[in-house]
Amino acid sequence: MRSQTSQHKEEAEAWINFMASTEANLRNMDYIWYASPNAEALETYPAYYEETYGEPLDPALYEIMAPSQEVLDRCEAYLVLPAETRTLYNDLWTQLGI
């Protein structure tokens, strides 16, 4: 649905703003242990963790959660895979029950 005709545009924008907020991203990082695209949340997570749990975040865990650019530069990404490969991946994930 187009945003100009949405019946709940204001609520939708409030939800998007909340989900994009640093506070929501910090809580989400803490819950799922994935890095965030929110740069402020990513940078402040160690301090958030220490404040929340009363102990410093293990730097080795944070490096796994949010690898440095140096580590990312050594990684490979498969952005556009052939249809047959995507089908194979999907079939394998289905077999795993995911």
Which pLDDT tens digit goes with each residue over 5-19? 778 999 999 999 999
Q: What is the pLDDT of residues 27-71, one digit of tens each?
A: 999 999 888 989 999 999 999 999 999 999 999 999 988 888 899
**Token digits of residue 51:** 């404040």
Cα distance between the two ends of the chain: 30
**Token digits of residue 58:** 């293990």
The CB density around residue 38, as the number of other CB atoms within 10 Å, is 20
